[in-house]
Structure 1
């Protein structure tokens, strides 16, 4: 149960952090969260753990949290604002991968070899993760933003946020998971592990998507009550 409790704690910490940074810094805060979640998710994804009896990679919460951010942006600021966040995520991941790829080419001091090799093992694998993330991110987030607008036209009232939030995110997460798992891990793990990763990752992302709905309502309430500090 330790892993499950830690997972629940990380889930809550992630969502509360998004609401906090939104309240304190407004739209800029949400934009700043995108690089944080994108970069950390791609570091955590190399960690394989057992959750709820399934083999799963970490990073699901942070990565899925990006959908919460774009849904808040789409709900409160419109489609263009949400799309800008996707572009920011692209840029941050490309730059991080490129800079760290150069960094691990340095020759470390003898005293720092162990730490250097630990960092190198992560970022040597990151270009493949970057490609997987970018392709999956482009497909899934583009669909999510389009679907959110589609469902908002059909269910435009505030009480229907849960419909447009979940209807857009569930399919987007499925697309994201399918593309990312295949590109990132095909040939790295056996088919059985790959299948477990795909199923468990989607189950966990599904749970994250359901759990983030109240926070879209909270963000919408804060915006309508003019409680967001938009000015820096």
Structure 2
């Protein structure tokens, strides 16, 4: 992969922190030209282009894509990483919250992809990578809205892959397990016993620990790489075996 990303133009939504920031760092290290789209870009890697953008607003997305193209001349890779969490069962999540989360987690990916597609079609190595979740493939308690949004991302990925195969644009997605991110850290901090809650989350994954951001970024880079030219419509679980393994308790 060392030389495959040199001068490739990559857009990463939600790229100023967490998984997105790690993807940006790795791509920049490999010679890519990276544009980070985020609500708050203060912590974005200074080696790339940082653009304040809201994926829930079409005008904001269109302006951000136009700025990327003006600065870099095209687009080769889109990593749809921006997303927000939601907790609770269907009994407690109101209509406004459903609309807010779906607008970011699902329609936001469609907005950014739609705006970027004219430029992706012109790339000889075009790739879209959507970030879904273990919540797309496993039922998790108190995550009804979040799970619905990430299940939609998985289905959207396959539909987009079919729609744009003839355009030479590959579309895949990564399904992370519970990751050791700042967002998860903030959730743990609100628990009555953060250490116990962290241990419980680690134990839920068969390999016994939280997934690292670097591991998720590596999966995203595989899909984005020209070397994965025959891979489209695929999903890759990066979850320590949580999706497919049923381990016996020692």
- TM-score, scaled relative to structure 2: 0.31
Q: Which has the higher contact order (CA 8 A, sep 6+)?
A: 1
- TM-score, scaled relative to structure 1: 0.32
Name the structure with the higher helix share.
1
Name the structure with the higher strand share.
2
